[in-house]
Amino acid sequence: MLNVQSLTQRTFAQIVVFALLLLNSTLAFAQNQVNGIVTDKTGEPLIGVNVVEKGTTNGVITDFNGQFTLNVAQGKTLVFSYVGYTTQEITVKGSSLKIIMEEDSKTLDEVVVVGYGSMSRKDVTSSITTVKADKLNVGVYSDPGQLLQGKVPGLTVVQSSDPTSGTASISLRGASSLRTGAAMEPYYVIDGIPGMSLSLIAPEDIESIDVLRDASATAIYGSKAANGVILITTKKGSKSEHTSVNYSAYLAFDNIAKRLDMMTADELRTYAKENNITLPNDKGANTNWNDEVLRTAISHNHNVSINGGSEKTQYSASMSYQNKQGIVRGTDFERFGGRAFLQTKALNDRLTLAFNVNAAQSKGTTVDSAKDGQSVFDAMNYYSPLVPVTNADGSWYSDKTISQNFNPVSMINEDTFENNKKLLQGTAKGTLDITKDLKWNLSLSYQDEQYIWNEYHTSKSQYNTRNGEAKRIATENKKKILETYINYDHTFANIHKLGLMAGYSWEQNDDNDSFGLDVYDFYNDNTTFYNLNLANKMDWQNGGITSNNNGHLETLRMISFYGRINYSFNSKYLLQATIRRDGSSAFGKNNRWGTFPSASLAWRMSEEKFIKDLNVFDDLKFRVGYGVSGNSLGFGAYSAIQTYSTSGWFNYTNANGTQNSYHTLAAASNANPDLKWERTAMLNIGLDFSFFGGRLGGTIEYYDKRTSDLIYTYEVSTNRYPFGTMPANVGDISNKGIEFTINATPIQTKNFSWQTSLNLSHNKNNVESISNSEYSVDYIRAADPEIAGYSSNADVQRIMEGHPIGTFYTYEWAGYNNQGVSIFYVHDPETGERTGETTTDPETDRDRTIIGCAQPDLNLGWSNNFQYKNWNLDLFFTGVFGQDIYNATAEQYSNVSFVKEGRNVLKSVATKHRATDTQSQAPSNRWIENGSYFRLSSVSLGYTFGKIGNWINSLKLYATCNNVFTITGYSGRDPEINLGGLEPGMDRRTNYYPRTRSFMIGLNVNF
């Protein structure tokens, strides 16, 4: 029995071995060595095409001749993929294959958002840059401007590390106004609704941002588009019949990137001893005030979104929470946001209805940043390290014998500033398909903004001596918009593509509806700015119910008519023309209407036979456009009319002998019935190109931008007018520039790819005129460095005809005289040249001269994305070259007199300055430095896990560092200085929030 059993087992084993050998030989026989070649439609071989057996990792890439060899079984499927070409799947039915790849036109067919519509990228005739969500900057950001830094040629964005604010400045293609604030910034349109608040949108909810850069693109927005238009599209629902839940979060740590090199207590004592200086306040301490003021800031952000829908109905909703801690103690920001979107079809799918609600609530706390020493950012450097933070009894150390000298830690704790915002916006849209080609669109939008400013100075405040002072100001702004327009799109005979759009817009803004109260003298500080009725005093003259705390309701209305025509002949010759006519109540009664036309042409040369025969270009398009847009941003309802305000008090005794006090009224502004729009005309010439199946492409742009009828407030005679100044349209500014963008995929293999994008821009700004026969000024003073001892005539820039905004105009430092005091070159009053003489007391008008300019020669943004299997690495560089910076911070802290006064100074005072120099901080070219820099702005490393189980569709983890390193010769804290407004290139100390370096870890998970 045992023998039989053993025989049976042995026989079975032999059968199994035989079966395995047979199967192995069958598989070996089935494996087929496939040889092939991959070409484009012209027969040119394609190098680096991925050839992979579907569902496996078995694959190769084509060689320099487009050829490949791969062992794969008959009947299996090969997947061919290549950048710029449509992916193909081929079933193996032999040993030789020839694959012809078809160009992927998705880039050309990419939908670009334009004013009141959208179109294919290939049909665009204007200068428009699109940045998708996955290409936006990553960081602890709350402002769309921060997301775009370095991504758009010609768009200059300067970051701010202040948690309560976002972008320090943003400008497109140069300054084109003599007004500041909104008048210098682009116009924002969110989901087709113009002028909505950016505070409503969380960065995670953005799908894409389109930047309209030239006037032929922006003119459709008429009087608000002179500085460019930024269109933000938020995420909507999907048609996938599947509900998607996404959660994203990050945790970030911020530290100061670079501290000022101030003297320590020991260094200050040594310096005083070596120079026979008596220190008036040496208390034996060794305090590092930067350490007392600064901290490692911890921030976190969370966003949950739901997206889903069907072909008929789509929906989307999200909630976000952001908590940003500032590196300066006492500065924090907290924001809650929510949005909901629903879109559905009705009337047999001919009517599309969409409803959108956005809401946000935020709270920001900050510290004082005023002048005259009342700035924490200033005091953390000037306050003496020789004194302690607190006295022995726990009270704040204070020395009132030194003027404008305040303990920064005391200011953080005893002087509180808080800003609360509530924003609500709702939009209803309807689109009716009248015919297949004709659509009628209607949208209604309402936005309400509420701001409450709270301020409290305790009884322990070192600069406010009113025994506790509280201020509260409540402000409300409302915006109502109606937009209706018709779109007609039809293609005739398959080659004539016609698009028509005509519309009407009505807008009303009720702004600055505010009320405030300022009270003081409390019994204690327990209630801070709450329960104002507990205060004992209210000064009606200086801060109670006055115009300082109460706004004037301003109602502005605008109505507009607009239209656009697009024509394309065989996608080869393209034409676009727009016109908009705006009427606004903001301007003088004689000039309330303005017309803003534009036209642009494009020639897709790549569609010509002689270009196709070259077998070089995938796409080649030449564009030229001209348009006129206006600038009404930043105007109030009272800009052009006569206004009056209170000017004092008088006593009046009535018939009954009762005496009462009444306000006197006086003119506060003059009426100008001829005040009109600033107008910007721009010529734009562009060339778009693409090679190698889309692996190399880019654009070259040239523009000539000229702004006329600039509004500025001029001094006028009070013999002719009731008030001493008048706003008038006088000046002209020009901006000319060239921009270059290159997008490339240098490496594309099976497991590794490198995509890179580089943009360069150069702009030349020039003030053409600022005077005419009626309103005249020789120049406009600008850029007060706010230096101790120079309270008047200290400005270091001038706005002058024939020179750019940001021209430095100051004294020339000539070294020291025999007494060790700074001397300056004397200039001839007629020629402006040096006379060869020097002086310790230069004259304001005689001895100043042009020395440098804050306008950069070149701006750079360079993005790099590396992919290796599931890993991705992003490196983003920015650079600004050729601009000058006035280092007013170093100027202030190089004042050698500070030492004997009881303040601190920079360490460089001991090595670069003379203790005898009583004018060490005098304004001059001594403080102008080259501000060029090249920065690794961010580096981000991520890993995508893909699908995990049945409940996680994708999971990505990433780590990011912002402001990694900077290559620069600038000696100040940071060379990324404000380049917008009328005073670019000024590095001041009082309101400069220290630049940070942040490290963050985050995740994105989709269920």
CA distance 811 to 827: 9
Most confident of 40-54, 199-213, 452-466: 452-466
Place of tokens 């025994």: 467
Give yes or no for a contact between 567 and 648, defined as CB atoms under 8 angstroms apart: no
Place of tokens 């943003």: 170
* pLDDT at residue number 397: 97
CA distance 326 to 293: 11
Confidence of residue 66 (pLDDT cuts 50, 70, 90): confident
CA distance 316 to 299: 27
Place of tokens 């490339």: 744
* pLDDT at residue number 13: 44
* pLDDT at residue number 845: 85
Q: Measured on CA atoms in the order 221, 223, 224, 226, is the torsion positive or negative?
A: positive
* pLDDT at residue number 21: 37
- Strand, coil or helix: 303: strand
String of DSSP letters for 56-70: SS-EEE--TTSEEEE
CA dist 764 → 137, 196, 411, 628, 761 (Å):
27, 31, 43, 20, 10
Every domain of the chain and the residues it spans: 17-98
Give yes or no for a contact between 712 and 730, defined as CB atoms under 8 angstroms apart: yes
Give yes or no for a contact between 779 and 800, defined as CB atoms under 8 angstroms apart: yes
* pLDDT at residue number 636: 83
CA diameter of the chain: 142
Tokens found for residue 13: 């084993």
Question: What digits encode the pLDDT tens for the residues 87-136?
Answer: 888 988 888 899 988 766 555 567 777 888 888 877 888 998 989 888 88
Most confident of 153-157, 374-378, 652-656: 374-378
CA dist 1004 → 200, 205, 563 (Å):
22, 13, 42
CA distance 82 to 279: 73
CA distance 795 to 783: 5
CA distance 203 to 369: 28
Most confident of 11-15, 145-149, 791-795, 926-930: 926-930
* pLDDT at residue number 84: 64
**Amino acid letter, residue 174:** G
CA angle in degrees (0–180, nearest 5) for 802-806-808: 90
**DSSP strands (E only) in 544-642:** 554-569, 573-584, 593-604, 617-631
Question: What digits encode the pLDDT tens for the residues 189-226?
Answer: 999 889 888 888 888 899 899 999 999 999 999 888 89
Q: Which among 139, 330, 412 has a CA at the least distance from the CA of 253?
A: 139
CA dist 413 → 136, 289, 967 (Å):
37, 14, 37
Confidence of residue 550 (pLDDT cuts 50, 70, 90): low
- Strand, coil or helix: 401: coil
pLDDT: which is higher, 380 or 42? 380
* pLDDT at residue number 180: 85
The residues facing 103 across adjacent strands are 85
DSSP letter at 198?
Answer: G
The residues facing 2 across adjacent strands are none
CA angle in degrees (0–180, nearest 5) for 151-153-159: 55
Question: What digits encode the pLDDT tens for the residues 602-631?
Answer: 999 999 999 988 888 989 999 999 999 999
Task: Quote the percentage of the chain above a pLDDT of 90.
Answer: 68
Going by their DSSP bridges, the two strands 313-325 and 50-53 should be labelled as unpaired
String of DSSP letters for 913-945: S-TT-TTTT--SGGGEEE--EEEEEEEEEEEE-
Confidence of residue 793 (pLDDT cuts 50, 70, 90): confident
Backbone phi, psi, residue 223, to 5°? -75, 0
* pLDDT at residue number 980: 84
Half-sphere exposure of residue 170: CA atoms within 13 angstroms, side-chain side: 26
Tokens found for residue 205: 């909810």
Say which residues have a Cβ less than 8 Å from residue 106's Cβ, sequence separation at least 6: none
CA distance 680 to 522: 54
Give yes or no for a contact between 564 and 625, defined as CB atoms under 8 angstroms apart: no
CA distance 485 to 483: 7
Q: Which among 218, 228, 106, 23 has a CA at the least distance from the CA of 619?
A: 106
SS (H, E, C) 215-248: HHHHHHHHHHCCCCEEEEEECCCCCCCCCEEEEE
Give yes or no for a contact between 259 and 289, defined as CB atoms under 8 angstroms apart: no
Q: Which among 598, 559, 560 has a CA at the least distance from the CA of 578?
A: 598
Confidence of residue 168 (pLDDT cuts 50, 70, 90): low
* Whole-number average pLDDT of the chain: 90
The mean pLDDT of 641-664, rounded to a whole number, is 89
Domain covering 17-98 in this structure, CATH number: 2.60.40.1120
Q: Which of 34-43, 100-109, 363-372, 694-703 has the lowest mean pLDDT?
A: 100-109
Give yes or no for a contact between 281 and 981, defined as CB atoms under 8 angstroms apart: no
SS (H, E, C) 683-722: EEEEEEEEEHHHCEEEEEEEEEEEEEEEEEEEECCCCCCC
Confidence of residue 544 (pLDDT cuts 50, 70, 90): low
* pLDDT at residue number 167: 61
Confidence of residue 821 (pLDDT cuts 50, 70, 90): very high
Q: Which of 108-117, 338-347, 479-488, 798-807 has the lowest mean pLDDT?
A: 108-117
